[in-house]
């Protein structure tokens, strides 16, 4: 397994599928762009993400640093490792 993806180890996978509920879109009311300090509070917690490309999905973040949020996104067949630029995130709950 590549060293740059330490979270791909099975013992680090999210503990379960995400909630079945799909939240309603909620624009984050920040006067400044999203910052790592806000997202870092949600490490290893389920969050629902809306991207600037109009995609949305459940995510289980593992790390937030250097302008990126890395973790797992829920897809049809399970969790998939993703790395998003913070500027790609439109909103999250």
**In this predicted structure, what is the pLDDT of residue 32?**
54
Beta bridge partners of 75: 78
Could you tell me the pTM of the whole model?
Answer: 0.83
Q: Where are the domains of the chain?
A: 38-93
**In this predicted structure, what is the pLDDT of residue 56?**
96
State the Cα torsion 74-80-85-90 to the nearest 10°: -10
**In this predicted structure, what is the pLDDT of residue 2?**
47
User: CATH 2.30.30.100: does it fit domain 38-93?
Assistant: yes
Which helix (H) or strand (E) covers residue 61, if one does? strand 56-65
Tokens of 42: 């949600």
In terms of Cα–Cα distance, which of 93, 60, 53, 65 is closest to 79? Answer: 60
**In this predicted structure, what is the pLDDT of residue 38?**
86
């Amino acid at each position: 397994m590549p060293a740059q993806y330490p979270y791909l180890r099975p013992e680090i996978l999210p503990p379960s599928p995400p909630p079945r509920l799909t939240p309603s879109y909620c624009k984050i009311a920040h006067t400044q762009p999203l910052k790592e300090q806000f997202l870092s509070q949600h490490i290893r917690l389920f969050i629902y993400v809306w991207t600037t490309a109009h995609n949305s999905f459940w995510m289980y973040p593992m790390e937030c640093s250097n302008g990126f949020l890395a973790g797992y996104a829920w897809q049809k067949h399970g969790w998939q490792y993703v790395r998003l630029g913070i500027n790609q995130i439109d909103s999250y709950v």
